[in-house]
Amino acid sequence: MTQEQFIKRYEKYDDAVQEYMRIISDALMQKYQDVPDIFIMTLDALAGNLTIMNKAMKTIAYEGGDIKGKDNYRGEKKSTELSAFLASQNNVIKLANIFGFTPMGRSKIRENTDAADINKYLQNLIS
């Protein structure tokens, strides 16, 4: 998938999610020269979790949401917004680690330098 197609896929998402997905797109383009179609499902899940995380944070921080909720049986509990934020944040971090977009995730991914060596070897043969 081209970068333009990838970015267009997320144009209806809010601005922050679009910015995150552009950053991810740039990283994928640098590594793969396009966005591999096999990644789309995981990247859609990432965009969805980013949306939930941002909406929950905005509700808590700016729209009068609270971190405490009320349970009719046990009293105070985490608010729905806080629970949604924490769950989506956890998912975002896990998905970002899978792609090596965090320092921890990057340290676990071994780069394959063989492809670069093969390309260099083929260029030498052609020249």
DSSP state of 102: S
Length of the chain: 127
Rounded to two decimals, the pTM is 0.76
**For residues 107 and 105, what is the distance between their CA atoms, to the nearest angstrom?**
5
pLDDT in 10s for each residue of the chain, 127 residues: 999 999 999 999 999 999 999 999 999 998 888 889 999 999 999 999 999 999 999 998 888 777 777 776 777 777 889 999 999 999 999 999 988 887 777 777 666 555 556 666 667 777 6
**Residue 81 CB: number of other CB atoms within 10 A?**
21
**For residues 78 and 91, what is the distance between their CA atoms, to the nearest angstrom?**
18
89-107: b or e for each residue (b if 16 or more CB lie within 10 Å)?
bebbeebbbebbbeeebee
